[in-house]
A and B are shown apart, each in its own frame.
Chain A
Amino acid sequence: MIKKKICLLGSFAVGKTSVIKQYVHGIFSEKYLTTIGVKIDRKQIETEAGPVLLLIWDLNGADKFADIRSSYLKGSSGFLLVVDGTRPSTLMRALEISESLDQTLGHLPRILLINKSDLSSEWRLAETDLEPLLSQGWTILKTSAKTGEHVEQAFSQLTRAMLESEG
């Protein structure tokens, strides 16, 4: 069976763990619990190329307390860069991470998730902030780990992109 490693990256408290929990287990908790180190989940999905086993790496959020170890990213086929729509600084952080991915691993498939769409009334990121990224070719999805909006789509779209990029 095809195995693919996906890493979820982004600033702390943007909802990376919650997105995975929603995708793999269909659950959501309001309580913020910081991720220590790495948590790996597995999910098998059906694709046109046959069944694919996704190894989903949940990396602890990048901040002044902890950095992303480059060794953790080894063997990755794609990335979900997660942003908190209520905190504009997390978009900057995601773009910085993306740039560093380009330098270390080359241009692997990635999708930008603007998470917490259930709190869209409190969002401080506007469409105009995202338009330049769209024109640069970014795939952007507005997700909610709480309601599950676009979560499934994010993983299936990334899987398709990973399979296509590896021929």
Chain B
Amino acid sequence: MSAALSKAAPESRHPTAFVDRIVRNAWYVSAFRSEVGQALLPRKILGQPIVMYRTAAGRLVAMRDSCPHRFMPLSRGRLYKDGVRCMYHGALYDETGKCIEVPSQHEIPAKCFVKTYPTAEVERWVWIWMGDPDKADPALIPDKKYLGMGTEGFRSVDIKHRVGQARYHLCNENLIDDTHVTFLHMGQFESGGRVHTPPETTQIDRWVRTRWFDPDEKISNYFKMEFDVDYDRAPRALVGHFCAPATHCVWIEVYDPKNPDKMPKTLRIAFCFTPESDTTTHMFVCESRNYRTENAEWDEFMRESFHMIQSQDLHAVEGIEYVMQNSHELPEEVSFRADASVLRARRLINEMLDKEAAP
């Protein structure tokens, strides 16, 4: 980002315009569990290249992806027993990152080790802590009960991992602000009534929760197929959950208009927007549904249709990122009444950043 933009955009005006505003002391998703096996998986997380793999016993390892000798990426090396051998000069590191062999000499330099990172596996995701390891409390992982995965009666589907060319704040705010749906995803989801109706917004612990309920929502053609319902109008709830700094779950509940007391058909879409760099973002998504749980055909349909929706979201946030990176100056940002949840989320993230910056 140019110095000119930094000068023109004071922090108070553009919380999203600054590239150095990534919360580090937090759990982020680094991979789907199914992605990590006995092979080296490189990925950049919070600006740091890391490599992930599993030991023969299945334990997950995440370490810095560079040999301390000459910085060769270890992901270009080879798994050797439960460690990694650098295939430049042969240094061997065990699963804790300790160097246990230097082929060209007997003694091992004291500083020859690779940093490892705390990880946790919960349901379908691998979580990683890139900040102060002493603060990596697994209790801080967003509560899985909101994420849908592993909920009894639900079937979960991993959505293909993508990297968005936009900072994670923009991805967060796109998802929290659901009034964009009517325009960016025109005709695919709903009638547009949501734009005119303020949501109920509450905060539960670290979660910001917004809920729209329409007792007589027009059900789009796409929703009819996705939810396998044949009614044109039905009660529908849309509940968004955000756990700062980067985890979300959106619940969509379609009720039977003839029997609204019956359990609604529910889709829970969990997201984690993990910063890859200051201006790019990993998108980890898992969809869970409580209908057609026996039909694999729905899995592929959901993946394909979600890909299209996500592309529309990326069209917006990548456009904003372009403006942010290429504007000589930006005017003061304007907020609408519907931005209450977004502003609350910004405050939560700012509190986390302030806490990190405190001595």
- Do they bind each other? no
A interface residue numbers (CB < 8 A to B): none
